[in-house]
C-alpha cells in the first residue's frame, strides 16, 4: 500500500506570485478587499456584471451619497431645532412646534445656500484650472515643437556634404 500523496506546499497570500494579468488582478483584489472597501467593490462587480457603465455607476453612487448627506443634514437641523426649542420652556406646544418648524426650515435654507455657493465655486475653479491646464499643454507643445525643429535643423546642418 502506497502512502497518500503529500499536499502541495502553499504560500501565504503575501508570498504568492502570479504571472501576467492574473498577478495584476490578484494585487488589485488584495488592495481592495479590506472591510471598508468590500461593499463598494461588491456593488461595482455586480453592476459590471449587469452591464452598467462606470460613469452611470459613479453618478448613481454620487446621487445616493448626496441624498444620504442631505437627509443627515435635515436630521441634524431637526435635532438642533429641538434643542433650541427646549431652551424656551415657556412656549406652548403649538408655539414649540412652530419654532421647531421655522428653525428647521431656516437652517435647511441656509445649508442649501452654502452648498450652492460651494458648488458654484467648485465649478468656477474647475473652469479656471481647466483653462490653465489647456494653456500649459499649448506651451508644452510649442516647446516640444521648437526643440524638435532645433534638433532637425542641427541634424540637417550636420548631414550636409561639405560641412566642416
Give residue-wise pLDDT tens across range 125-148.
999 999 999 999 999 999 999 999
For the cut 90, the answer to whether the pLDDT of residue 25 exceeds it is: no
* Calpha distance 63→43 (Å, rounded): 15
Q: Mean pLDDT over residues 23-39, rounded?
A: 51
- Mean pLDDT across the chain: 80
Structural domain spans, the chain: 38-159
pLDDT on residue 70: 93
SS3 (DSSP) at 12: coil
CA distance 66 to 70: 6
Contacts of 84 (CB under 8 A, 6+ apart): 99, 100, 103
What per-residue confidence (pLDDT) applies to 50? 65
The yes-or-no verdict on residue 123 having pLDDT over 70 is yes
Burial 40-72 (b: 16+ CB within 10 A, else e): eeeebeebeeeeeeeeebeeeeeeeeeeeeeee
**pTM greater than the 0.75 cutoff:** no
**Contact partners, residue 71, CB within 8 Å, separation at least 6:** none
Residue closest to 66 by CA, chosen among 8, 22, 125, 111: 111
**Predicted pLDDT of residue 5:** 61
Dihedral of alpha carbons 154, 155, 161, 164, sign: positive
- What is the three-class DSSP state of 134? helix
Question: What tens digit of pLDDT does each residue of 42-97 get?
Answer: 766 766 666 667 778 788 888 999 999 999 999 999 999 999 999 999 999 999 99
User: What pLDDT is attached to residue 35?
Assistant: 47
Across 87-115, average pLDDT:
95
Amino acid at each position: 500500500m502506497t502512502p497518500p500523496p503529500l499536499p502541495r506546499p502553499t504560500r501565504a497570500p503575501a508570498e504568492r506570485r502570479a504571472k501576467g494579468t492574473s498577478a495584476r488582478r490578484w494585487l488589485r483584489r488584495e488592495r481592495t478587499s479590506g472591510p471598508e472597501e468590500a461593499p463598494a467593490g461588491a456593488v461595482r462587480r455586480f453592476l459590471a456584471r449587469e452591464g452598467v457603465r462606470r460613469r452611470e455607476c459613479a453618478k448613481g453612487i454620487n446621487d445616493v451619497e448626496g441624498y444620504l448627506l442631505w437627509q443627515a443634514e435635515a436630521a441634524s437641523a431637526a435635532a438642533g431645532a429641538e434643542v433650541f426649542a427646549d431652551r424656551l420652556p415657556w412656549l406652548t406646544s403649538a408655539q414649540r412646534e412652530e419654532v421647531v418648524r421655522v428653525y428647521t426650515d431656516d437652517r435647511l435654507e441656509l445649508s442649501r445656500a452654502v452648498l450652492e455657493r460651494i458648488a458654484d465655486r467648485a465649478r468656477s475653479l474647475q473652469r479656471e484650472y481647466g483653462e490653465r491646464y489647456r494653456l500649459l499643454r499649448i506651451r508644452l507643445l510649442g516647446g516640444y515643437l521648437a526643440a524638435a525643429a532645433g534638433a532637425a535643423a542641427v541634424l540637417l546642418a550636420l548631414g550636409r556634404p561639405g560641412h566642416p
